Amino acid sequence: MSKEARRGAFTIDAAAHLAAAAAKAAWWSAAGRATRALVKPTKGEQAEAFEPTTPPVSRERLRAAYLSAFRKDARDVAAGLYPAMDTEIDPAEIVRRAADVLTDAKSVDQRRRKAQATEVRESVNSKAYPSYYRQNFHYQSGGWFTQKSAQRYEAQVEALFSGAAGAMRRRALSLLAKAWRGRDQRGLKIADIACGSGGFLRDLQAAFPRARLMGLDLSPAYAAEARARFGAPVVQANAERLPFADGSLDAVTCIYLFHELPPRVRPIVAREIARVLKPGGVLAFADSVQPSDEPDLARLLEAFPAFFHEPFYGSYATTDLPALFTTAGLSVEGEDKAFLTKALSFTKINHTT
């Protein structure tokens, strides 16, 4: 196929992808609005009142930031960096998933109102899990410990972010694809750390079909769900003690983990990631934008921990992420952001610190 023909094919793929993404976003935006209308989180009684210190976000600025995630994703599809997102979902299944989120919303709201964020400790006492992990993050039913939570999670985040969750986290995919562009991917080893129920594993599988892909998550329920959905090897383990040999991986991806780690744990996990990467290996990282990245969206970032139980988000918001990973032995190579997500890429330097 000629360059012109490939470019035309990519343009068609990108247009189709953007149309499918728009339909998906419309659906999950409606589900998110229905959830908020049902529980009225900003109007109901809360254990701790939210008292913002930053100005409201303008509707125009919010819309521009939101659309940037889809436009950047479509641009990268058109450039041939990676395939279009898989939007082929059984309509009956997507309706069932949305209904499940709505059904559970009342339980989530009751925890929010009562500040019940540690009820999972009553049923999970194992020393295999650090105390900071045994919480109902986001006030969600079951925390990270039940099959129902694992099955519900992807739908919950899509409803929360109005269908933009997949497009936002693919900023990390973009950085990794750029780092590996033109490279023979056969035999390259990638580990997705804190893979959750496997949403990003699907993107990695599509983008790097010849690489050797594995996932890791501390939750046995989420690891099992990721394994069942996508078929990639997924191990249950703590990111503080990665079960990989020194210098054994060509890439590590880490999506939305660090804002849920206590400050003392972040350097430990950063050092573990650096340890398992080969010299020249790549870390593709994505997490929440920080207020310094998007001052115009600071009100949203300020509200997030208040309404969704994120006990370590405040310290994450002021963490110097490049310095954190540089200290661990990695070098900053790239950066991107879209809507409420920032992505960074790092390369392991040839000596350890």
11 and 73 in a common domain: yes
Closest CA to 270 of 197, 205, 342, 331: 331
207 and 131 in a common domain: no
Q: Can you give the pLDDT at residue 8?
A: 45
166 inside domain: no
Q: Can you give the pLDDT at residue 3?
A: 44
249 and 134 in a common domain: no
Question: Which residues span the domain enclosing 298?
Answer: 183-348
284 inside domain: yes
171 inside domain: no
353 inside domain: no
pTM exceeding the 0.95 threshold for the entire prediction: no
Neighbours of 240 (CB within 10 A): 13
Q: Specify which residues 283 forms β-bridges with.
A: 252, 346
190 and 151 in a common domain: no
Contact partners, residue 219, CB within 8 Å, separation at least 6 = 144, 145, 150, 196, 236
Q: How many domains does the chain have?
A: 2
Q: Can you give the pLDDT at residue 6?
A: 42
- For residue 164, the number of C-alpha atoms closer than 13 Å in the C-beta half-sphere is 22
299 and 246 in a common domain: yes
99 inside domain: yes
Q: Specify which residues 285 forms β-bridges with.
A: 254, 344
Amino acid at 157: V
DSSP percent split of the chain into helix, strand, coil, nearest 5: 50, 15, 35
Amino acid at 183: R
189 and 330 in a common domain: yes
341 and 194 in a common domain: yes
87 inside domain: yes
Q: Which of 160, 195, 216 is the last residue of a domain?
A: 160
248 inside domain: yes
Q: Specify which residues 215 forms β-bridges with.
A: 192, 234
Residue 233: CATH number of its domain: 3.40.50.150
111 and 190 in a common domain: no
Q: Can you give the pLDDT at residue 215?
A: 97
What tokens does 235 get?
A: 């191990």
332 and 203 in a common domain: yes
Amino acid at 94: I
Spell out a b/e string for 259-288, using b for 16 or more CB atoms within 10 Å of the CB, else e.
bbbeeebbebbbbbbbbbbeeebbbbbbbb
> One digit per residue, pLDDT tens: the chain, 353 residues?
444 444 444 444 666 666 666 666 665 566 556 666 656 554 555 556 788 899 999 999 999 999 999 999 999 999 999 998 875 566 677 778 777 887 888 888 888 888 888 889 888 878 789 999 999 999 999 999 999 999 999 988 888 888 899 999 999 999 999 999 999 999 899 999 999 999 999 999 999 999 999 999 999 999 999 999 887 899 999 999 999 999 999 999 999 999 999 999 999 999 999 999 999 999 999 999 999 999 999 999 999 888 888 999 999 999 999 999 999 999 999 999 999 999 999 999 876 44
* DSSP for residue 184: -
285 and 205 in a common domain: yes
190 and 83 in a common domain: no
Distance CA 60, CA 296 (A): 11
93 and 12 in a common domain: yes
Spell out a b/e string for 21-57, using b for 16 or more CB atoms within 10 Å of the CB, else e.
beebbebbbebbeebeeebebeeeebeeeeeeeeeeb
Residues 139 and 308: beta-carbon distance below 8 Å: yes
Q: Which of 160, 192, 207 is the last residue of a domain?
A: 160
Q: Specify which residues 91 forms β-bridges with.
A: none
The position carrying tokens 């109902």 is 136
174 inside domain: no
- Calculate ∠ Cα 137-141-144, nearest 5°: 55
Q: Which of 95, 129, 160 is the last residue of a domain?
A: 160
